[in-house]
């Protein structure tokens, strides 16, 4: 049973560029959440997708956008990259329990470096 | 908003016990999770508390007091492989994480 898979694992961009990160959830999961984790910090919630719609959003600017596909996979897009966007981007999948979030299963993350 | 506090670092010796405290103030509450994260790796699930009291899982136990907005993770019989960051996360319809506690186990 494949767990959560993310791609790419590492990437380097320059300021002002755009990036797309991809995530395939664990089999049977229908909800995908994205987190940003800076070095030495805990994961910060970006947004959550369920039934192809953004269900919740954290305190991130509109440069951060996402999408969920009918097969539950998801993309995170970041436009106009800033140096401060350098971080580990974690995708986590879960099974929706009504309005609650169930246990999150994390992928290995995409390490983004902005130069 | 959310406010989740836990100590930044803790050090203990192999075989000892360490208790990591977490206090929280969140707009909603549907349980509290503890995750373990080794350097350069993804967080992995350790425990979940939704009712007050102690949940025991082998060498790891977690306690919750909802009225006090308080939880702790107890690591017993510490092993070198327990050196990691431990993340407290509150489920308020999404998971909100604390900054993590780095535990270093010394021989």
Give the pLDDT confidence of A30-65 residue by residue, as tens digits. 999 999 999 989 999 999 999 999 998 999 999 999
Q: Are B69 and B24 in contact (CB under 8 A)?
A: yes
Residues on chain B touching A90 (C-beta within 8 angstroms)? 42-43
The DSSP bridge pattern shows strands A110-114 and A10-13 to be parallel
CA–CA separation, B64 and B23 (whole Å): 10
- Output the six-digit token pair for B22: 């977490």
For the segment B17-50, what is each residue's pLDDT rounded down to a tens digit? 999 999 999 888 889 999 999 998 899 999 999 9
Angstrom distances, CA of residue B60 to CA of A35, A43, A53, B15, B86: 26, 22, 37, 13, 12
- Put simply, whether A103 touches B (Cβ < 8 Å) is yes
Q: Are A88 and A20 in contact (CB under 8 A)?
A: no
Question: What are the two backbone dihedrals, phi and then psi, of residue A83, each rounded to the nearest 5 degrees?
Answer: -55, -35
Q: What pLDDT was estimated at residue B27?
A: 81
**Mean pLDDT taken over chain B:** 94
CB contact under 8 Å between A100 and B87, yes or no, is no
- Put simply, whether A98 touches B (Cβ < 8 Å) is no
- Give yes or no for residue A102 having a pLDDT over 80: no
Nearest CB to B45; choose among A56, A58, A103: A103
Nearest CB to A103; choose among B48, B96, B100: B48
């Amino acid at each position: 049973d494949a767990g959560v898979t993310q791609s790419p694992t590492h990437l380097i961009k320059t300021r002002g560029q755009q990036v797309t990160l991809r995530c395939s959830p664990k089999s049977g999961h229908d909800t995908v959440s994205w987190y940003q984790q800076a070095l030495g910090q805990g994961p910060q919630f970006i947004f959550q997708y369920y039934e192809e719609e953004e269900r919740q959003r954290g305190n991130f600017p509109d440069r951060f956008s996402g999408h969920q596909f009918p097969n539950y996979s998801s993309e995170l897009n970041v436009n106009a990259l800033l140096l401060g966007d350098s971080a580990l981007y974690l995708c986590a999948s879960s099974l929706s329990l009504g309005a609650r979030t169930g246990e999150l299963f994390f992928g290995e993350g995409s390490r983004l470096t902005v130069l | 908003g959310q406010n989740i506090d836990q100590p930044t670092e803790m050090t203990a010796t192999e075989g000892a016990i360490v208790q990591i405290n977490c206090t929280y103030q969140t707009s909603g509450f549907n349980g509290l999770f503890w995750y373990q994260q080794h350097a350069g790796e993804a967080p992995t699930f350790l425990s979940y508390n939704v009712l007050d009291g102690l949940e025991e899982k082998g060498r790891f136990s977690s306690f919750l007091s909802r009225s006090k907005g308080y939880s702790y993770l107890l690591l017993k019989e510490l092993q070198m492989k327990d050196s990691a960051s431990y993340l407290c996360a509150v489920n308020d319809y999404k998971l909100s994480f604390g900054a993590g506690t780095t535990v270093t186990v010394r021989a």
